[in-house]
Structure 1
Amino acid sequence: MILPERLRHHFLTGRTRPARPDQVVRWFGAVQAQDFAGALWALAQRLAAPTTEAALLAAFDEGAFIRTHVLRPTWHFVAPEDLRWMLALTAPRVHAANAARYAELGLDARTRAAAERALAKALAGGVSLTRQELAEALGVAGIPPDGQRLPHLLMHAELEGVICSGPRRGKQFTHALVDARVPASPARSRDEALAALMQRYVASHGPVTARDAAWWSGLTIQDVRAGLEAAGDALTRWNEDGITWWVAAGPQAPARSRPRPAGGDDAVHLLPNYDEYVVAYRDRTVLLHPSTPVTSLAQSALLMQPVVHEGVHAGTWRRALPTRRGGPVTVDVQWIERPDEAEASESVAAAERYAAYLGAPLVVEVR
């Protein structure tokens, strides 16, 4: 029951799926995105109709979804209207996790505040700047950005709601002011925010446990349990073998979703690094292949470009991108156990979907 339900809630199976990438982001609440290209592919696999990487890049540049630090000390995609209240709820925990590193780098409260002012000044007027340009602005302000100081100062400013992702400049990422990219939204009380975040997480990832929710959100187990209870009738639970599982109580499909074309349910998925189907759970043992030992190392290995067959980890895949314009993308699918004819065919179909998404011809090997 667990894996079929999760596949459906993740929009990896099912007849009705979101029409746009920002709807996918909004449905999940947050999508882990330090692997930027991989996170875009994660969104693409959940849409009702095939799309391209170019279309998702355009949506990102337009600000349909934002990439910033939130929930845990890593990047996530979030919907613009969710950014402020999610930061208010989760940023204090991330700052606490980063406190020792701030101290090691000599980034005391005064330095971090001065850096925020310098970044805000440099980005005033709606401009967006690259990481190197922001480093230069910090240097001019007398704040050395050398080594790991720069990424931690930028992360701190993101967590404080000062800066977030801007439109790319060519292939370079930029930052912009949150006030320039994110519309104003009503503040939520802490209790409202806890309930909203837990409801969003359970609906999109369920069935889940409270420990899963604490891992995903970065919140304490006490806060998670308070949020689950505050969600009220929107969530339901059951106990099995001493474990409490949480699911959404009723239909939760996102607005403006639409049916997927016939034949759209895919048995094999080539998921990217840190896909929500894997990374969003504290306990990933249910995903392990029957022949895989239940170890922490095996659970961590699930994070790296897994092949998922009918919900279970079945192998890994690698890709080599075209070395020249119009060249092929090479996809190597390696199964844990030798695939049968149907599984091999499904692997090729999954690779073909990926190549079509990139707009490139395909060379594929299944083994």
Structure 2
Amino acid sequence: MSASAKIRVTPKVMGRLRLASQGLLGGFSSPEECVSTMGAMQAQDLASAFWAVGQRVPGSGLSKVLEALENGTVVRSWPMRGTLHLVPPQDLRWILGITTERSMRSVAARHRELGIEKADIAACRDLALERVAGSPGATREELFKIFESAGQVTAAQRGIHLLWILCQNAWLVQGPPAGTAGKALGQQLFVAFDEWIPESKILGREEGIAEFLLRYLRSHGPATLQDFAWWTQIPKSEVRAAHEAIRSQLVELVFGATSYWLSPETAALLDDGVPGSRTVLALPGFDEFLLGYTDRSLVLPPEHFQKVVPGGNGVFKRMIVSGGEVVGTWSRSGTGRTAVVVPEAFAPEGLTPAAKRSFELQAAKYLRFMER
């Protein structure tokens, strides 16, 4: 790649290329465009997912992202890794068609422990679909009560596993937020998949994997095939085959003897220098900028990993990103007008004066987003 000779590629440059790919140096026009371009966005913590979208859609507020969920133009489900993501509604069915079988196998032993059999799944499916048919939907608690009344135990996580199975099979999907907008960051109503998503794109397995891989590498690149295989849990042999079908639409960047792939548009930034060297961002916990890769050391020095994921417990703190590198964490305390955002830099001397001023602007942007 001739462009790489015009700039010395370093981990920070790789990080800034990822910022560009993910819309964090420019942005998308709407939540729908953001989620569609990204393919899927981590959404285990819904408030974090909303801010992840907000950082990528300039001028947006919480209400605009909530509206996308309320209208069904963005949906939230478990498309891969047993983890909730925001996904484009028209793509969810074909993504599940690729990932569900392996996801179900991965939890088969747990389902045997919980005594979940095919007859139980069929019974809960019929009960749930009868309840939500033609209605705005039902809360998790409402469905649990219906299951319990029919003799289906929901304790010890059995209930949530049953709902997960119904969503994996595209019988149910999470729909509009439950309650008022001010209380909508915790739960969503469960609705009938076919009613909430009346039109789905149809892709076969090979075509679907190729489409998913292309979208991932364009929105997350520079990234490796291993990154995608981990992100989706799709077998590496199928990922390699899909890559052969789409590699002409991508650019290869060799860094540290490893092949990374990215879009031609992002690669072209290497010609004149990748922007973002002075960009400071307040990213949410679980953001795709860090979580979307199996190797996170390019943007987060290993010696600081425990500061972002204390004890390796899977809970990612909010991150301060400067020039393409994670340089600290941040937290919010208080509510409403008393809310404040507090940075905690990794460096003992803290953020530089310029970075501190930039972060203060980010903190104000975040607080405005949450109130809009």
Q: Confirm or deny: 8 A CA contact 1:126 1:177 kept in the other structure.
A: no
Offset, 1:266: 7.3
Partner of 1:152: 161
Offset, 1:350: 0.8
Q: Confirm or deny: 8 A CA contact 1:194 1:226 kept in the other structure.
A: no
Q: Trace 1:6-85 onto structure 2 (pairs within 5 A).
A: 6-14=18-26, 17-47=27-57, 49-85=58-94
Q: Trace 1:310-325 onto structure 2 (pairs within 5 A).
A: 310-322=323-335
Which amino acid is 2:338 matched to? P
Once residues 236 and 93 of structure 2 are traced to their aligned partners in structure 1, the CA distance between those partners, rounded to angstroms, is 22
Quick one: structure 1 residues 334 and 72, their matched pair in 2 at CA, closer, same or farther if it must change by over 3 Å?
same
Offset, 1:107: 0.8
* 1:60-90 deviation digits (Å, cap 9, x = unpaired): 1111200111121010000111111001011
* 1:108-132 deviation digits (Å, cap 9, x = unpaired): 2222222222211211124300011
Partner of 1:245: 260
Partner of 2:320: 307
Which consecutive residues of structure 2, in runs of 5 or more, have no partner in the other structure? 1-12, 268-275
Q: Confirm or deny: 8 A CA contact 1:284 1:299 kept in the other structure.
A: no
Quick one: structure 1 residues 82 and 186, their matched pair in 2 at CA, closer, same or farther if it must change by over 3 Å?
closer
Which consecutive residues of structure 1, in runs of 5 or more, have no partner in the other structure? 253-263, 361-367
Partner of 2:272: none
Q: Confirm or deny: 8 A CA contact 1:285 1:294 kept in the other structure.
A: no
Quick one: structure 1 residues 18 and 165, their matched pair in 2 at CA, closer, same or farther if it must change by over 3 Å?
same
Higher relative contact order (CA 8 A, sep 6+): 2
Offset, 1:232: 4.0
Q: Secondary structure at the match of 1:167?
A: strand
Once residues 132 and 266 of structure 1 are traced to their aligned partners in structure 2, the CA distance between those partners, rounded to angstroms, is 47
Offset, 1:39: 0.3
Partner of 1:329: 339
Quick one: structure 1 residues 287 and 27, their matched pair in 2 at CA, closer, same or farther if it must change by over 3 Å?
same
Once residues 234 and 194 of structure 1 are traced to their aligned partners in structure 2, the CA distance between those partners, rounded to angstroms, is 15
The answer as to 2:96 corresponding to 1:87 is yes
Once residues 240 and 20 of structure 1 are traced to their aligned partners in structure 2, the CA distance between those partners, rounded to angstroms, is 33
Q: Secondary structure at the match of 2:227?
A: helix
The answer as to 2:125 corresponding to 1:119 is no
Offset, 1:294: 7.5
Q: Confirm or deny: 8 A CA contact 1:234 1:250 kept in the other structure.
A: no
Which amino acid is 1:274 matched to? F
Offset, 1:250: 4.7
Partner of 2:4: none
Q: Confirm or deny: 8 A CA contact 2:250 2:262 kept in the other structure.
A: yes
* 1:153-178 deviation digits (Å, cap 9, x = unpaired): 11111110011112123134211011
Q: Confirm or deny: 8 A CA contact 1:207 1:247 kept in the other structure.
A: yes
Quick one: structure 1 residues 315 and 68, their matched pair in 2 at CA, closer, same or farther if it must change by over 3 Å?
same
Q: Secondary structure at the match of 1:166?
A: strand
Partner of 2:197: 182
Q: Secondary structure at the match of 2:303?
A: coil
Q: Confirm or deny: 8 A CA contact 2:40 2:85 kept in the other structure.
A: yes
* 1:14-64 deviation digits (Å, cap 9, x = unpaired): 3xx2111111000010001011001000000001x3121122112211112
Write out the 4+ residue segments of structure 1 that deviate beyond 4 Å after TM superposition: 297-302
Which amino acid is 2:162 matched to? L
Counterpart pick for 1:279 among 268, 273, 291? 291
- With 183-192 and 308-317 compared, the bigger mean Cα shift is at 183-192
Q: Secondary structure at the match of 2:286?
A: coil
Once residues 122 and 252 of structure 2 are traced to their aligned partners in structure 1, the CA distance between those partners, rounded to angstroms, is 44
Offset, 1:144: 1.7
Q: Secondary structure at the match of 1:239?
A: strand
Q: Confirm or deny: 8 A CA contact 1:13 1:266 kept in the other structure.
A: no
More helix by share: 2
Q: Secondary structure at the match of 1:317?
A: strand
Q: Secondary structure at the match of 2:244?
A: helix
Once residues 60 and 186 of structure 1 are traced to their aligned partners in structure 2, the CA distance between those partners, rounded to angstroms, is 19
Q: Confirm or deny: 8 A CA contact 2:40 2:87 kept in the other structure.
A: yes
Percent of pairs identical after alignment? 31
Offset, 1:269: 1.2
Q: Secondary structure at the match of 1:223?
A: helix
Q: Confirm or deny: 8 A CA contact 1:80 1:183 kept in the other structure.
A: no
Which amino acid is 2:263 matched to? A
Q: Secondary structure at the match of 2:176?
A: coil
Q: Confirm or deny: 8 A CA contact 2:14 2:324 kept in the other structure.
A: no
